[in-house]
Amino acid sequence: MLNPELTQALAANSHWQLLQLAPTAEPGTFKAWVLVDSALYGVMVQVPRSVYLNATVAPGDPAAQALGKSVRGLLPHGDKVQHLYKVGRHGG
């Protein structure tokens, strides 16, 4: 059996074939089944989720503190940005 460092080095320099990406009980966490040099591996994948809110409340307003972190960004479909906030568990 190969030592873990050698196995990681071989996997990092090899072609990975994704066979399945399955959700787990934890939101934002998936188990990927990959084939690397004829060996099957189960790899946990974390996908951070961010929610953005386009609000009329300006960042200097006291009510804005409850909305999250003020950020710059673009909205889908070219919608106009008023004041964009990143909210939720991955917010500010």
> Over the range 54-75, which residues count as b (16 or more CB within 10 Å of their CB) and which as e?
ebebeeeeeebeebbebbeeee
Q: How far apart are CA 20 and CA 5, in angstroms?
A: 25
Q: In the numeric block, which tokens belong to residue 15?
A: 């072609």
Identify residue 66 by its one-letter amino acid code: A
Q: Which CB contacts under 8 angstroms, 24+ apart, belong to 58-66?
A: 58/83, 59/83
Q: In the numeric block, which tokens belong to residue 59?
A: 């960042």
- What integer is the mean pLDDT of 2-28? 80
Sorting pLDDT into bands at 50, 70 and 90, what band is 91? very low
pTM of structure: 0.51
pLDDT in tens, 45-81: 988 878 889 999 999 898 888 888 999 999 999 899 9
